[in-house]
Structure 1
Amino acid sequence: MKRYYDPWRKRIGKLLKALQGRPVALVVLFGLSLLNLTSEWPSDIPRPAFVDTLDDALPDSFKTARQLLFDQYQRHYKRIPATQPVTIVEIDEETLASVGQWPWPRNRLAGLIDAIAAYKPLAIGLDIYMPEPDQTSPDRVADNLPKTAAALAAGLRALPSHDAILAGSLRAAPSILGAAALDHAAFATRTTLRSALVLVHGADPLDHVRRFEYVLASLPELQAAAHGQALLSVALEQGVVRHIPLVMGLGDRLVPSLPMEMLRVATGSAALEVYADSSGVQAVGVADVQVPTQPGGDIWLHFASIRSTLGRYVSARDILQGKVDADRIRDKLVLVGLTGAGVTDMRTTPLGELVPGIEIQAQVIETIFEGRFLRRPTWLKWAESGFIMTFGLLIVWYVPRKRSRLAEFIRAVPKGVAMLGLSLHLLNLLCCFYIFMHFGFLIDAAAIFIILSAVMGCFLSPALLHQQEQARAEAALAQRPPADKNGAGKAPEA
């Protein structure tokens, strides 16, 4: 094994020592920088085919480290809610035990909406979709009666259906229905949705936003009665919700998310506005509110801990029984969703918390009200790349110089270079975290650390190899027998 290992070690050593290691360091610098860009390709330039090939060959090369770093930013600096514009009416276990198991007959859901609307909220968003007719409606029950109960069946058919009752409640309240976006056809899916107008200012952003071909929405009768329709999709990355789309594509149309549609209904606006250029969506607005977005029409959400938002939850049972303080509903944006065990759509946040899906929608609205957005614009990626290239080239030019102050420092304090490197990287991390705290920009300190450390390692490796060679030479010399006066080795005794 040693016979095969030594030649390769010598070749690698010669390669690292060639021109004091600068060629290898340049290859590492440019190669890792390209790989970093590939993992998060800037939207302002076309994506070449080789980038897709490289991304497929080395998936998540820098993306995972970047995501974990941004999660740590949030865990060490959680958003503290300053306002509470949202109230969540939860259909919790107490409600299900009191009112009945889910799904409810829709006249019962209509009663809940009527009870909420009586408190005069600004908007009521339902994180619920109903694609099929209610099978408990009187006409459906009549269809299952025997012929001998013809009179009873006729009486039941004369009653309004539960869907019609719910439609009346939706029409009377400032209601918004949610719908699930799907990439594939399934039972009861459609290709269209009765959504509000979306006005585009600038270039068409449809190719940049997340697009779907199918939607699982409520019945057309319910859609026609509601004051708005919205998609409930969230973006998952390795099972964690970090991005929230504010606008999405359904076929060849732009469709709003639930938070933006609720703001549109609450402000009485006729349309949602999207501001875009050739690189994608720049902002999504409604009334006098503009939310800066990523080119894909999504935002990085700065999460608050679920422990700090529990005060926004109200049990649907208390609403139905009239036991709720009116101020918790009046002039609020109300979200209605399921939180009972077994019926809840649970999601993991960057804080490591498992929360109901309706909580994420509430945090988006809360963030928009507070105007505290996390941002990672395209220019920031270029700035990071420029920083990495500048300091990488500075390392390549300066570190190998034998008469520099750094070289003298390394010779004087061999272990000091490691402490110096760690100190600089710690300073880099602290600066990026400070910018996150005060300005909301997400700077990828992980890529800076990985690439510059690798470049620096190209110059430290030859020194380590040289030390190993010296150690082996000294060990070999120590094992040689002592020489006699004539320079010949002393023969071993018999």
Structure 2
Amino acid sequence: MFALLHAMDILPIGVLQRLDNIIYDARLRASMPRTLDDRVVIVDIDEKSLAEVGRWPWGRNRLADLVDELFDRQKIAILGFDVVFAEPDDSSGLKRLRQLAQSELKEQPAFGEKLQQLQSTLDYDASFARALKDRPVVLGYYFTTDPRGRTSGVLPKPVMGPEALHGRPIKFTHWTGYGSNIQQLADAAPIAGFFNPMVDKDGVVRAVPLVAEYQDKYYESLALAMFRMMIGSPVVEPGFAQESLAGRNYQGLDHIRLRLGERVRRIPVAEGVTTLVPFRGPGGVEGGSYRYVSASDVLSKRLPADSLKGKIVLVGTTAPGLLDLRVTPVGEAYAGVETHANLISGLMDDRIPIKPDWSLGYDLVILVVAGLTLAILLPLLSATRAVVLSLAIGTAILALNYWLYFSYMWALPLAAALAMAGAAFALNMSYGYFVESRSKRELANLFGTYVPPELVDEMVKDPESYSMKAANKELTVMFCDMRGFTKMSEKMEPTQLQELLNEVFNRLTDIIRGQNRGTIDKYMGDCVMAFWGAPVETPNHATLAVKSAVEMSRAVQEINAENRSKGIPEIGVGVGLNTGTMCVGDMGSDIRRAYTVIGDAVNLGSRLEGLSKVYGVDIVVSETTRKLAPEFAWLELDRVRVKGKEQAVGIFYPLGPADSLDRATADELKTWNAFLKAYRAQDWDQCDLQLLNLQRMNAQKYLYELYSERVTSMRLLPFDPSWDGATTFETK
């Protein structure tokens, strides 16, 4: 069960997550081709380049020379920058010279003329922009999760807008800020891609977002931008999984489609529209996966002409001081630029490892099949045969997983299944598997006869926080009375009545305890008393109580439908709910005790249950409960002053979830609220008009007949300015 909860991400277990990462890393290293891909070249801003050219950042004039050399003399195919140019380059001193020409040297025309002649050579950003313009260049930039949403530079055009998703709630990797290139360079090279990796909880980079979201627009990664440019700049489209496989609520993409005319290329993606990096080898200059060329060799033209002809070139760095080294499954100081090179290679070869959207289903099937096999057979086998069975199942799970990875590049989970098989064997051999922990036994002895077992299981996690001592807490109490049992007892045999009563109580108890975390206080004849919020703290106790009442009313209707064909009379239900401060604890005598609630708020809940008959509804809820359950739409029944209370309280009836209220009911509720306003203002003519409208909408509603009679009686009385609109009940 723990393995299943971990697989479904309901109860993630950190050890299993780390083990899955270790297994994935081992599979990846075992499947790497470890061969040179000569299609991609990395121009490396390495220590040698920094020593020869100078510290980074270099002047943009040097970068312009680099671009010109790569395209004009080396004749490369595509150039991508794994760096960002977020600020203007003032290293030439042009900015200061312009200031001098407008201030101290303003009266020196010769200085101004000379500056005008030198301006084109001193404007390094303009030189770099001219080198980039009209060439197949992809600039790099980065996104951030800055809480202030700070930005710099200019973003490229997004590859998709929200309309492409057709309203589907796709979970993209989301960012709140960015650092991009200055306007001048962005205009010269309008195609750009972000170079953010995805860093797992253990600090390792295994995946990158292929497309990410910023302010409801969608932008491509550096590798995808370069790949699209290489194949003709196809349109990017979302690829949705088949609903039969992923379900209607699957909030992810199955793949990204690159459409160019009639040709479509599909790139599989995982959660967050990410893709795993298909690492080719250990990385670095000596790694043997890609050719590294020092940027200083390119700038000094030490490379023979056409050495890089037709190559895809990435400009990046391996210098430790420039902080672009990552921890990856294949190395602890892996150059970030090579991560993009790997992804470009994988896209060209259509060799991308993927965690499919159905991996959860695969994991659950393996866990259920292997788990049931072990659970059924292990207790029946001797120790030797149990060892053989456990090893056989573990080997089969491992072999299937590795075969799917090496054959189809499906990175499927494995740790939970292996851990489950090992734990099942170990626990089967251990007597401790059958022994309850001491804290659970003590709590079970203390609370087991009062509260649901599922709540006891929660209490076990922190046993010191619970006791039977009385305490004042805000809780929600319910009184539920069965209507019609008295008459039925006169017509039915005692055993038949007992059977029916037990059936009803079983259904209602399951709703209160099993589905909505309530505590059954007691059964009193044909009445059920329950409460929410103790002994386990339940912040949404009012919502759960209202939900229980609605479901109980529906369950009684279903029981009536089932019994109608048997000739059994129908039963009704009256439910009262109130929220307030109550005293809860273990109360009673030495002979008989109970974990129960008492107090004025409890008494009010009982009174409200009795009022359900008066207003012709099956549920009456106090105003305090209504305020704590805003998820429901409410019909105000009245303001009442019950026996034993001087203060009038509002009472309400739940119409259902507020977000699913139909138009007709909403219109009827609006008219009813207008009637109540007129009623409390003693405007009887307006009351008659609104009641007439209400009876046209719902002629069968008893509530409207009740108020019609009240209005008729109230007309006979003079206007009372002290009347608060409340109805007083003198009896219980």
Contact in 2 for aligned 1:123/1:174 (Cα 8 Å): yes
Contact in 1 for aligned 2:359/2:413 (Cα 8 Å): no
Could you say which residue in structure 2 is the equivalent of 1:226? 189
Compare relative contact order (CA 8 Å, sep 6+) and give the higher one, 1 or 2.
1
SS of equivalent to 2:83: coil
Contact in 2 for aligned 1:194/1:223 (Cα 8 Å): yes
Within 1, Cα distance between the matches of 2:61 and 2:342?
A: 30
Could you say which residue in structure 2 is the equivalent of 1:271? 235
Give 1:431 deviation, angstroms.
3.2
Within 1, Cα distance between the matches of 2:422 and 2:289?
A: 43
Summarize the Cα distance change of 1:385–1:327 in structure 2 as closer, same or farther, 3 Å threshold: farther
Could you say which residue in structure 1 is the equivalent of 2:6? 35
Q: Name whichever of 418-427 and 84-93 sits farther off.
A: 418-427
Q: Name whichever of 301-310 and 108-117 sits farther off.
A: 301-310
Contact in 1 for aligned 2:427/2:433 (Cα 8 Å): no
Could you say which residue in structure 2 is the equivalent of 1:86? 40
- Is there any run of 5+ residues in structure 2 with no aligned partner, and where? 242-249, 436-732
Give 1:240 deviation, angstroms.
0.9
User: What's the Cα RMSD here?
Assistant: 2.9
Give 1:315 deviation, angstroms.
1.4
Summarize the Cα distance change of 1:96–1:442 in structure 2 as closer, same or farther, 3 Å threshold: same
Q: What pairs with 1:108-257 in structure 2 (closer than 5 Å)?
A: 108-118=62-72, 119-143=74-98, 145=100, 148-150=104-106, 151=108, 152=111, 155-156=114-115, 159-160=119-120, 161-184=123-146, 189-190=151-152, 193-198=155-160, 203=166, 207-237=170-200, 238-257=202-221
The counterpart of 2:53, out of the listed 70, 92, 99, is 99
Q: One-letter code of the match for 1:120? A: K
Q: Deviations over 1:284-310 (max 9, x none)?
A: 243453211114211112312224435
SS of equivalent to 2:90: coil
Contact in 1 for aligned 2:137/2:191 (Cα 8 Å): yes
Contact in 2 for aligned 1:87/1:332 (Cα 8 Å): yes
Within 2, Cα distance between the matches of 1:369 and 1:349?
A: 22
Could you say which residue in structure 1 is the equivalent of 2:330? 351
Q: Is 1:319 equivalent to 2:294 in the alignment? A: no
Identical columns (%) = 25
Contact in 2 for aligned 1:191/1:250 (Cα 8 Å): no
Summarize the Cα distance change of 1:191–1:337 in structure 2 as closer, same or farther, 3 Å threshold: closer
Could you say which residue in structure 1 is the equivalent of 2:256? 284
Within 2, Cα distance between the matches of 1:298 and 1:464?
A: 41
Contact in 2 for aligned 1:206/1:254 (Cα 8 Å): no
Within 2, Cα distance between the matches of 1:463 and 1:338?
A: 56
- Is there any run of 5+ residues in structure 1 with no aligned partner, and where? 1-29, 39-50, 402-406, 467-494
Q: Is 1:385 equivalent to 2:359 in the alignment? A: no
Q: Is 1:373 equivalent to 2:352 in the alignment? A: yes
Within 1, Cα distance between the matches of 2:329 and 2:146?
A: 28
SS of equivalent to 1:391: helix
Give 1:449 deviation, angstroms.
1.0
The counterpart of 2:273, out of the listed 286, 297, 321, is 297
Could you say which residue in structure 1 is the equivalent of 2:225? 261
Q: TM-score, normalized by length of structure 2?
A: 0.52
Give 1:67 deviation, angstroms.
0.8
Within 2, Cα distance between the matches of 1:335 and 1:319?
A: 13
Contact in 2 for aligned 1:204/1:276 (Cα 8 Å): no
Within 1, Cα distance between the matches of 2:16 and 2:7?
A: 6
Q: Name whichever of 193-202 and 227-236 sits farther off.
A: 193-202
Give 1:182 deviation, angstroms.
0.4
Q: TM-score, normalized by length of structure 1?
A: 0.75
Give 1:198 deviation, angstroms.
2.9
Could you say which residue in structure 1 is the equivalent of 2:393? 424
Give 1:338 deviation, angstroms.
2.2
Q: Name whichever of 285-294 and 90-99 sits farther off.
A: 285-294
Could you say which residue in structure 2 is the equivalent of 1:486? none
Give 1:272 deviation, angstroms.
2.7
SS of equivalent to 1:437: helix
Rg comparison, structure with higher value: 2
Give 1:110 deviation, angstroms.
1.1
Contact in 2 for aligned 1:85/1:369 (Cα 8 Å): no
Contact in 2 for aligned 1:201/1:273 (Cα 8 Å): yes
Contact in 2 for aligned 1:92/1:315 (Cα 8 Å): yes
Contact in 2 for aligned 1:174/1:265 (Cα 8 Å): yes
